[in-house]
Amino acid sequence: MFFSSDHPKHEFEESQQCKSRDAICYLCKNKVSLVEDESNAFYCCQGCGSNFHKDCLTVTYPKCHEHTLTFIRRKIPFPCDVCGQEFPDEMYGCLQCDFFVNRHCIYLPRVIKITRHSHRLSHVLRISDGDNVCGICRSLVDVGYGGYSCIDKTCNYVAHFHCIIRFNVWDGKDVEGEEVAASEADDVAPLLLVEDIDGESTWRHFSHDHDLLRVVEEQESEELCQACILPTYKTGKFLRCKECDFALHETCACLPRKMAHGLHVHPVTLHVETGDGFFICSVCNQYSCGLMSYKCNQKDCGFKMDVRCASFVEPFNHTALPHDPFYLGVDFNEYIYRCYGCRQRSRFTARCVQGSIDFDFKCLNLPGLIKYKCDDHPLTLYYDHRGHNSGWCEICEEIIEKGRIIYTCRHCFTTLHVDCILGKYPYLKCGHKIKVNGFEVEIASNNGASRPICQTCHRICQDKHVFNGKDQVCFCSVECIPSQACS
């Protein structure tokens, strides 16, 4: 017979008195065995009829506490000494030490590594005084309770227990006693200096076979960076091939071959795309013709990230809200967040803590300045967090909804929808051939005097890009391109 430590009415009899064939353990929610032997014994509460595994009623786990912990069932909630949260039906206690802990905190790992931070984190029962802002949810961590703290004594990074467990930021491994993995160590540089003669440097990037020269060009051109598919002009220094039209932003060329990025729980590696000529970024859900992408190192994980999303570093200053830094949001592994800029749902967002504004990575990666043929000034990315009316779009001539992220001219008060000026596929480049389900098409600009008709949906192609197949067939979108079997 076993007695609960808080109330005499919770008296537990052994399994011989529990005849239910569908008995479920109240704590672990697993079925209890009806085989009557000591290794499978379970208990039944006479007061409420709940069933319990024998090993669930008492827990011995020295990593959490040196004494045996006993299940305590009280109607009045009280905080867990480890995390500070209240779990009235899942608390264990050591009356000898006046120590109480909820079931989830008993088996917390001692040392972990999350991709949101460069160092490992250690399980501590008391957070020390200092900068006590959780690195995941950006709210305060109570110094009277425990959490995860950086093992580097010069670093003040801390995180809540429940943030580590609840949100998709940890790979589930306890790395206590393990050596630092290769993915956590410094990696080979992607850009190497070949020679430097009279101040003119020649470089070699792992993604290209020819030598590259560092160039500074401020005049407008149509040259695109092969990694991010954005213009090379007005972006500082970039690298241009001596023998062909290959070009890379210097920032794109210096991205590490391997990294642990907060957007994914596993380390990722920079790969050269060799498939169908384009890919879909798992973060921003955008099509890209970029030469390189970051792929997860895990064999069965299909995560793939373009270099624009991989360039996100906390705190991030967005052009539309330059005075309010953004931090990575939390991930519930579901599309539950709605972007304030485009009103679309997304798993991956960044949050402006001051204004509680969430932007998805499609809006975060938008260029800050663009050129519009009907305006002499560059248009600036703008977001009105007060939700005032933003006017009407001069391209589609429709009203722009309140609180949308837009492009505007501060001199002429021109306003444009983002999709109207950039198009549906801003990172697909004209003249590039791609394969969709085995069907090859060429991406072309849709700026002619007349607009073609889509072969599949029979509508006028209105986007900035069209997809030309064999025999002069044309498609308005990637979704309209048939498979090879249907062509």
Cα–Cα dist 244/342, whole Å: 38
Task: Compute CA 432 distance to the chain's CA centroid, rounded to the nearest angstrom.
Answer: 29
Mean predicted confidence (pLDDT) in 66-81 = 79
Cα–Cα dist 91/83, whole Å: 12
Q: Please enumerate in sequence order all residues whose Cβ is within 8 A of that of 59, keeping only pairs 6 or more positions apart, or say none.
A: 68, 69, 92, 106
To the nearest whole percent, how much of the chain has pLDDT over 70? Answer: 84
pTM of the model: 0.80
Pairing of strands 247-249, 258-259: unpaired
Q: Give yes or no for residue 262 having a pLDDT over 70.
A: yes
* Residues 454-468: tens digit of each pLDDT: 999 999 998 999 999
* 470 C-beta neighbours (distance < 10 Å), count: 10
The answer to whether the beta carbons of residues 247 and 224 sit under 8 Å apart is yes
Q: Give yes or no for residue 9 having a pLDDT over 50.
A: no
Structural domains for the chain: 191-253 (no CATH), 262-310 (3.30.60), 316-364 (no CATH), 433-480 (no CATH)
Mean predicted confidence (pLDDT) in 109-128 = 87
pLDDT score of 276: 86
Q: Give yes or no for residue 294 having a pLDDT over 90.
A: yes
Q: Is 51 exposed, middle or buried (0-12, 13-18, 19+ CB in 10 A)?
A: buried
Least confident of 142-151, 178-187, 199-208, 277-286: 178-187
Mean predicted confidence (pLDDT) in 408-428 = 90
pLDDT score of 450: 86
* Residues 235-258: tens digit of each pLDDT: 667 888 888 889 999 889 989 999
pLDDT score of 410: 84
